Amino acid sequence: MQLTTVSGLVIRERQSGDNDKFLDILTETDGVVEVMAKGVKKYTCPFAAASQLYAYSRFCLSYRRGRYYIDSAEPVKIFYSVREELERFSLVSYFSEVISFCQFPDKENSRDILRLFLNILHYLTEGTREMSLLKSIFELRLMSETGHMPDVVGCSVCRQYQTDKMYFSAAKGNLYCENCYSAHPEHGAVCIGPSVLHAVRHIVLTDFDRLFNFKLSGDSMTVLSDISEQYLLIHLGRSRFKTLDFYNSLC
């Protein structure tokens, strides 16, 4: 029997029989790991609090017959409040579904993606950032961290840094200046102004410590929402996520 200790966030749960659950844990070191939480629904279970949805905990796991089991767990931070309100809960359910679907290129990504998710849970709990902004940050930053970083440094043809209007192609993940777009218009490329361009560059390129330090509103936020969602779906090869459909149905 192998034993291992790992920090991670419970991002999904599935019932198993009367007393047990399967959990998907986004770990610091190994991407998403499925574990069996045996007896977790009994009120005497010592690791029930640490194993609930959106608990960030330190888990001691044992590996037996091809499966991980929770031996013990200590909560570090439990994000209760994201489960209490439908819109917030539907948004984090979408993030959880996307992360469970994603491939993580290496261990370094695991730490960065966990940090991204924990920060988003923090801001959702605090209520100090718009949900639509957090959604776009999640979508574009996650794609950048998992090998799908768009080229947003300048026009992909002439390398001009910025023009009044630029065009973003979600399919190709690049930008065109006005002149290059006029010469060869690309179907599906979206016209974006300076504030959306700045926001996209910020999300993709800035250091993590400053990632959440910007604001966007009105039409610019609507444009950013559209392109970040399209970008994620196209680059994950999905036409939809059912949790995303549900979240969008609430807005």
Instruction: Please tell me the distance from the alpha carbon of residue 141 to that of residue 211, in angstroms, as a whole number.
Output: 9
Residue with tokens 């991670």: 8
The residues with which 37 forms a beta bridge, in sequence order, are 21
For the CB of residue 150, give the shortest distance to Zn ion in the complex, in Å: 16
For the CB of residue 169, give the shortest distance to Zn ion in the complex, in Å: 13
Name which of 108 and 151 has its Cβ closer to Zn ion: 151
Cα torsion for 6, 139, 221, 243, to the nearest 10°? -90
Name which of 98 and 180 has its Cβ closer to Zn ion: 180
For the CB of residue 75, give the shortest distance to Zn ion in the complex, in Å: 52
Residues in touch with Zn ion (CB under 5 A): 155, 157-158, 160, 177, 180
Name which of 80 and 161 has its Cβ closer to Zn ion: 161
Contacts of 203 (CB under 8 A, 6+ apart): 136, 137, 140, 141, 144, 211, 228
Name which of 71 and 178 has its Cβ closer to Zn ion: 178
8 Å CB contact between 133 and 141 = no
SS3 content of the chain, % helix, strand, coil (to 5): 40, 25, 30
Q: 33, 29, 40, 108: which is closest to 71 by C-alpha?
A: 40
For the CB of residue 189, give the shortest distance to Zn ion in the complex, in Å: 12
For the CB of residue 178, give the shortest distance to Zn ion in the complex, in Å: 8
Name which of 99 and 166 has its Cβ closer to Zn ion: 166
